């Protein structure tokens, strides 16, 4: 250690701040605000347009009025969903690790989520097949957040999978999770369909990123589902893997560390 009280030499401290990274963060933030505004403005413009039509030309046409009202309902629902998902995202985005206070049986969550979405799958002629390894240990985590993860993944498999195909839900043990090396549980959601080109995969979990914007919109998508999945999985010290073969299979695998009495 230098003696700072000594007469010479003179010590100086220079603080270098990373301007590039600050600028990049500002850019990301302003892109996000622009995206949110755009995503909220388009259903809002549709609503305003239909209100004007209903007050004017369509006011004496009950058939057209009913049709417009049903479009207005789905646009309003899209806005409500977007706001809900933005709130969820802002909650989970902090990336702080969750306090593992719920002891969770993953197969129970999967069976609840499958039950919830089975009507939508059936409407596309899809069957949900669940394969669960025997004697799975519980894990610790946040039950509501994990339910959200599997709802988003299964909902994507239904939306982007082809009609009259099966969706597979596999649940089993993992010996070593990537990065942490701890044992855990995996859940894979696999569907058949167009798939995702390899170069698109790294960007899937970005906020508002969609491979096919028109298709996502027609499904009522917000482009936030996988961003939410990514953050919840990270908060659980887990890992997300995406594999896709174009025009064949796509699978999203979530790995979560298993229940540990020592951290309760």
Ligand X SMILES: Nc1ncnc2c1ncn2[C@@H]1O[C@H](COP(=O)(O)OP(=O)(O)O)[C@@H](O)[C@H]1O
d(CA 162, CA 127): 11
Interaction partner, residue 148 (Mg ion, ligand X, none; CB < 5-8 Å by kind):
none
Touching ligand X, residues 124-153 (CB under 6 A): 152
Q: Does 223 bind ligand X (CB under 6 A)?
A: yes
CB under 6 A: which stretch of 65-73, 115-123, 154-162, 171-179 binds ligand X? 154-162
Interaction partner, residue 188 (ligand X, Mg ion, none; CB < 5-8 Å by kind):
none
d(CA 215, CA 109): 28
Q: Does 196 bind ligand X (CB under 6 A)?
A: yes
Shortest distance (Å) from residue 210 CB to Mg ion: 9
CB under 6 A: which stretch of 130-138, 141-149, 177-185, 219-227 binds ligand X? 219-227
Q: Does 156 bind Mg ion (CB under 5 A)?
A: yes
Contact mark string toward Mg ion, 196..225, x via CB under 5 A: -------------------------x---x
Least Cα distance to 223 among 242, 204, 240, 239 occurs for: 204
| Widest CA span in the chain | 93
Shortest distance (Å) from residue 209 CB to Mg ion: 11
125 in the Ramachandran plot: left (φ > 0), alpha (ψ -120 to 50) or beta?
left
**Among 221, 239, 254, 256, which residue sits at the site for ligand X (rule: CB under 6 A)?**
221
d(CA 149, CA 165): 22
Beta-bridge partner residues of 255 = 186, 239
CB neighbours of 252 closer than 8 A, spacing ≥ 6? 153, 156, 157, 188, 189, 229, 240, 241, 242
Shortest distance (Å) from residue 166 CB to ligand X: 13
d(CA 68, CA 56): 13
Q: Which residues bind ligand X (CB under 6 A)?
A: 152, 156-157, 160, 191, 193, 195-196, 204, 210-212, 216, 221-226, 250
């Amino acid at each position: 250690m230098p003696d700072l009280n000594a007469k010479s030499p003179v010590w100086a401290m220079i603080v270098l701040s990373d301007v590039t990274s600050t600028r990049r963060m500002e850019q990301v933030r302003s892109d996000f605000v622009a995206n949110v505004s755009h995503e909220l403005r388009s259903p809002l413009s549709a609503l305003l347009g239909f209100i004007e039509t209903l007050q004017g030309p369509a006011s004496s046409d009950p058939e057209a009025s009913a049709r417009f009202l049903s479009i207005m309902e789905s646009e309003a629902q899209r806005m409500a969903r977007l706001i809900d998902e933005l709130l969820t995202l802002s909650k989970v985005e902090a990336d702080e690790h969750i306090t593992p206070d719920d002891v969770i049986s993953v197969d129970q969550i999967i069976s609840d989520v499958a039950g919830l979405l089975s009507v939508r799958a059936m409407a596309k002629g899809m069957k949900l097949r669940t394969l669960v390894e025997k004697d799975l240990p519980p894990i610790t985590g946040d039950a509501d957040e994990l339910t959200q993860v599997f709802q988003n993944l299964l909902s994507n498999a239904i939306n982007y999978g082809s009609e009259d195909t099966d969706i597979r839900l596999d649940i089993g043990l993992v010996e070593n999770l990537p990065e942490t090396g701890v044992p855990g549980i995996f859940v894979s959601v696999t569907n058949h369909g167009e798939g995702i080109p390899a170069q698109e995969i790294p960007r899937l979990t970005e906020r508002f990123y969609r491979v096919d914007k028109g298709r996502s919109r027609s499904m009522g998508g917000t482009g936030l589902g996988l961003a939410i999945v990514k953050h919840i999985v990270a908060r659980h010290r887990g890992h997300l893997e995406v594999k896709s073969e174009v025009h064949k299979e796509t699978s999203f695998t979530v790995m979560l560390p298993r229940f540990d009495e020592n951290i309760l």
